[in-house]
């Protein structure tokens, strides 16, 4: 009797551990973001550090989920008339990578560009975090931006509610929230991507 109960418990335990697997949170995040492709939304600062983020205050902030493929999503970020920033998310073997493509008005690359990080855990279907990668740390040291070597970027997608972009490090917390219930006209192409 005891062997039968133990055997049944082992079988049920194995079945529950292997038969019902949770959905892939990174795939859910990717799908939710991809569903916004072609759309643009206005945003506002929810948290910022003064004076580092003062250039964002009082400016119209717009994100445009401009280009989407199975493995890459490009999201230009416009701050007023500044069209220098594009977030680029890429599916990689072990997660998702976030890079920041910064351009000058003539389309050439800014000195500080292609920085970012990649996921180190499955995250949540609505939230993914991107701790700074080694390339970016080297770039920050070489351009006298050592304060950025501990950056963690986060993106959230709450369907039919908000998209959020966040940067955190000691003594800095920037968060911008975009209203997904109010689509706006797509802005012009970002610099260097016309």
What's the pLDDT tens digit per position in 42-90? 999 999 887 778 778 888 999 999 999 999 999 999 999 999 999 999 9
Between 38 and 15, the more confident residue is: 38
Q: How confident is the model at residue 188 (pLDDT cuts 50, 70, 90)?
A: very high
pLDDT for the residue 52: 77
- Spatial separation of the C-alpha atoms in residues 133 and 150, rounded to whole Å: 9
What's the token pair of residue 166? Answer: 């966040």
- Spatial separation of the C-alpha atoms in residues 178 and 61, rounded to whole Å: 9
pTM, entire model: 0.86
- Counting other chains too, the contacts that 145-153 makes at CB distance below 8 Å and 24 or more residues apart are 145/112, 147/172, 148/115, 151/117, 152/117, 153/98, 153/116, 153/117, 153/129
Domains of the chain plus CATH, in order, are 24-184 (2.40.128.20)
Mean pLDDT along residues 151-173? 96
Q: How confident is the model at residue 22 (pLDDT cuts 50, 70, 90)?
A: low
């Amino acid at each position: 009797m005891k062997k039968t109960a133990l055997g049944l418990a082992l079988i049920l335990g194995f079945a529950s551990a292997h038969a019902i697997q949770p959905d892939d949170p990174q795939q859910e995040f990717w799908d939710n973001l991809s569903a916004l492709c072609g759309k643009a939304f206005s945003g506002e600062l929810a948290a910022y550090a003064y004076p580092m983020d003062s250039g964002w205050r009082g400016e119209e902030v717009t994100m445009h989920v401009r280009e989407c493929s199975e493995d890459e999503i490009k999201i230009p970020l416009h701050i007023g008339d500044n069209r220098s920033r594009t977030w680029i998310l890429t599916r990689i073997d072990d997660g998702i990578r976030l890079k920041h493509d910064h351009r000058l008005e003539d389309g050439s690359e800014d000195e500080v560009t292609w920085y970012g990080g990649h996921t180190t855990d499955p995250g949540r279907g609505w939230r993914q975090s991107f701790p700074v990668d080694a390339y970016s740390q080297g770039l920050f040291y070489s351009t006298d931006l050592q304060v950025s070597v501990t950056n963690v970027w986060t993106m959230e997608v709450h369907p039919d509610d908000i998209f959020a972009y966040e940067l955190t490090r000691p003594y800095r917390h920037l968060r911008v929230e975009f209203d997904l219930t109010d689509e706006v006209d797509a802005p012009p192409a970002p610099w260097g991507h016309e």
